[in-house]
A and B are shown apart, each in its own frame.
Chain A
């Protein structure tokens, strides 16, 4: 199978291994007869137990859950310096709560954000904050329910790599990057609004 990873605008092989969280029993919440699809911002997930039980490879480039990295960061120093460690977190996790514990974000060659449902627009604000509030300069990846019709917005929100959902054609998804050529507002990719960029 070809790769599902778009980096910039090319499909490339993914040389990172994503460490999955240890499984935990999840309570299915219902609201008006429907399963609640979104975790609330700040919700206590993953649990400490899950974090401590999560295992990951000893060598190679590994993308670790944010809290797992924090737990093991002392012994990961060398690998971090070797640019072998990236972190990922989900859209409900509040990065500002952990920023002190993890130090300079630019030590990570890769930060990835997991989006459980494509309709969860928090991912865009998280991208914006990582780029503009926390000045993260390296690879910023979206993974999970990542689809063609959202990646234009992801790109504009500071993402530059996209792991397309398994059942979708990544080649087709790259077309979404070009949906619009001259957007109106300044955002994370093009900082200036159109009226500052182009003579109108």
Chain B
């Protein structure tokens, strides 16, 4: 993985000093709340319901065991012994003290981490595929470009105060696991006619209050021009994005109001005079950064011993949480942070230490965070899977529900977040409680439930097969349900099925949805395919008719 050199170290240390000074001036009343706000936000510090929340960057979701050990220490020392992994592959601490925040940043800097630009109106953490580097269908390991973009976007002077936040995602494989169509900029690598690596550039996608699938602004961009092309897009957005209304400030609104063609023209006009300029990437730089992500020392001729455990049902069921690997004899293992009773994405410090230890023993000391809020060991030998499973089980990391109904993506919601209209974690937990039969879950098959506590959509509810959105009606919490959302190459935004439900009703509504699916599915048909085939009517009829009768 990427290792800091003297330049990176200096920047992060200078940042800690700068922030310490900003905080001191704020506490000294030399800075107003309004002036301090963007400064603390760009350091990941929110003022929340109970205490500040600190969001720490995990660039493109990649962690070393040392870093994870440090996060566990921070959780113990400055928080309440746990952290929350977010849908942007970052980690959030919910209970730190404002005065401690520079010390936390210092501790992070020791292991080459920081909280730079994890919030605020700037370019946020660059996200990518959690299986980068180990999948079969990869055109390029997207982390090379992600790291180049990370450096370029860090303290980019021109884009330090954008109209609103700005998110970039990259996919290097044919199958998109990075949601590129739902980002402000999405970069999709492909091989062109001449067998050369090129990029399709998406712009103006996003979830939030006004969900939109992005538009293609450039069918084919040569990779050398990524930085200058992104710069041109961001310049047009910076100059013309709406600053008068926070709800209309994202780039998607600008793209929509101008139309993609007019927007593209503005971008191309800006690009003309910076194309081939100093920020053009060259092969040497791509290779220099790429070196850091070179293949670990994979073992050859691994003999699978999975047959020996055929009768261990719990283990074989859990194998569904492992992914195939480009190297024969290896698998990528996903540890579920969605055990029943666990707030989705939360990990205790002891779980963090356990995962760090297991990564050293079984996966070259590296861990990935997925935007589905789980932890991944990407390079595990097949013949060690059983051993790993036994050890990880002790720490409740092997709930075999990856990709299933209870692998719920969920924001912190009204329990923690001051923006939220409604709680989200208890909804996730009540659904997990109702669906606790693993065989039944496996029978239902792949199904994503996404829950957001408000329309900021941190839980990505629009792209959940079942999306649940907390809404406020006359001061009480209600939940609106959407069906048919999807992520990946065929991304779509879910449609609202009708009036919203109470928290108590929610698990049973999900149950009814599942019943309609099971009654209608053709063999092997996935939930999402069934929904697109039969439409919303059968679901609406079943759910709302019954409740009318009961009233």
Contact = CB atoms under 8 A, between A and B. Distances in A.
A81 interface: no
Interface stretch (A8-16, A36-44, A71-79): A36-44
Given A31-B245, A119-B161, A125 B238 contact: yes
Interface string B221-245: 0000001000000010011101111
A32 B476 CA distance: 21
Interface in A159-198: 179-188, 191-196, 198
Contacts of B10: 181-182
B39 interface: yes
B490 interface: no
A124 B240 contact: no
B18 interface: yes
B151, B155, B227, most chain A CB atoms within 10 A: B155
21 contacts: A37-B243, A37-B244, A39-B244, A40-B242, A40-B243, A121-B161, A121-B162, A124-B157, A125-B239, A149-B22, A149-B35, A180-B11, A180-B15, A180-B155, A184-B7, A184-B154, A185-B156, A186-B277, A187-B156, A188-B157, A200-B7
B278 interface: yes
Contacts of A198: 7
B14 A133 contact: no
B433 interface: no
B11, B151, B243, B278, most chain A CB atoms within 10 A: B243
Contacts, number: 123
Given A156-B158, A200-B7, 14 more contacts: A31-B245, A41-B240, A122-B238, A124-B158, A129-B235, A147-B35, A157-B157, A184-B7, A184-B152, A185-B156, A185-B157, A193-B152, A193-B279, A200-B288
Contact of A156 (B22, B157, B235): B157
Nearest to A193: B279
B18 A179 contact: yes
A69 to B, nearest CB: 22
A29 B288 CA distance: 52
B160 interface: yes
Nearest to B243: A38
B273 interface: yes
Given A122-B238, A125-B158, A133-B273, A38 B14 contact: no
B361 interface: no
B159 interface: yes
Interface in B278-327: 278-279, 285, 288
B98 interface: no
B244 A150 contact: no
